[in-house]
Amino acid sequence: MLDSLPYPLTKSDLGRIRHFDGIEGIPAGVTTWGEEPGADIIARAFVLETTDTHVAVVEDPDAGAYRVLERGDGAFEVYRDWCDEHGYGDDAGDLS
């Protein structure tokens, strides 16, 4: 599924992902305004809750894609560490 995600994802794209088969929700994420004039809000990192596990997903702007940072029980902790390291620590919570 990750290979089919467009980059960058807008906040509304994230809302649609919540309805994909096997996705239970997106319990945490970081969004910021895009850099171009008139840009939408862009997902920088998020945690997917699937029927089996949690998956921390982060942007890889050099590759123009997203990558899996961590799967499993440690996904939230690794996600929060990544957010802190990239200056998103205070914004790393709920996307609502």
- The pLDDT tens digits of the residues spanning 61-95 come to 999 999 999 999 999 999 999 999 999 888 787 76
The token pair at 2 is: 């990750």
Beta carbons within 8 Å of 63's beta carbon, 6+ residues apart: none
E runs forming strands in 1-96: 23-33, 41-50, 54-60, 65-71
What percent of the chain is predicted at pLDDT more than 90? 55
> How many CA atoms, within 13 angstroms, populate the side-chain half-sphere of residue 37?
0
Residue 36, pLDDT > 90, answer: no
Alpha-carbon distance of 91 to 78, in angstroms, equals 15
Q: Does the pLDDT of residue 3 top 90, yes or no?
A: no
Domain ranges of the chain: 2-91
Is the separation of the CB atoms in 61 and 73 below 8 Å? no
**In 3D, which of 47, 37, 42 has the Cα closest to residue 76?**
47
Is pLDDT of 96 > 70?
no
In degrees and rounded to multiples of 5, residue 24 shows phi and psi of -90, -30
User: In this model, does residue 35 exceed pLDDT 90?
Assistant: no
